Amino acid sequence: MGNITFTMIKPEAVEAGNSGAILNKIEAAGFRIVAMKKVHLSEERAGSFYEVHKERPFYGELVEYMCGGPIIAAILEKENAVLDFRTLIGATNPSEAAEGTIRAEFAESLAKNAVHGSDSDENASIEADFHFSTSERF
């Protein structure tokens, strides 16, 4: 029993048929899937999820992209979940992502970078609550 992080497989990776391969890497790295669903976010829900980035120049592009197709959202459990998952996914920009990371293998670009990973325990909890009720967690 460890702590949790929250992830989304982003629309272009779902569309490209990479969900299974990405989930494989996540489980192989020792994360346990606590909750998971495929969902098409509305523009309002995507905007609200990324509210922290509202002032950044790419906010509009980010929201449009994230509601452009279904995503797979999941809560993952592992010791040191947040940091270990950030290591597994690699840098935001795939050209800077270390070899073997999910973004190095599957990201298309800085914007379309295949997966989301929470950046702190506090945000992991907020993001997990945004997508999942208690009865959807196992």
Give the residue numbers annotated as catalytic, written as ranges.
116
State both tokens at 137: 């967690």
Decide if 26 contacts 119 (C-beta within 8 A): no
Q: Which one of residues 12, 97, 113, 124 is an interface residue with ligand ATP (CB under 6 A)?
A: 113
What Cα–Cα distance (Å) separates residue 130 from each residue in 20, 52, 90, 104? Answer: 24, 14, 24, 28
Cβ-based nearer residue to ligand ATP, 38 or 60 = 60
47 scored as a contact of ligand ATP (CB under 6 A): no
C-alpha 119/C-alpha 116 separation (Å) is 9
For residue 1, the minimal CB distance to Mg ion (Å) is 25
Stretch that binds ligand ATP, among 30-38, 56-64, 74-82, 126-134 (CB under 6 A): 56-64
Q: Is there binding between residue 90 and ligand ATP (CB under 6 A)?
A: no
Q: Which is nearer to ligand ATP, 116 or 131 (CB)?
A: 116
DSSP 3: E
Cα–Cα separations (whole angstroms), residue 24 to 29, 43, 72, 121, 122: 9, 29, 14, 23, 26
- Give the interface with ligand ATP as residue ranges (CB under 6 A): 53, 58, 61-62, 92, 110-111, 113, 116-117, 119
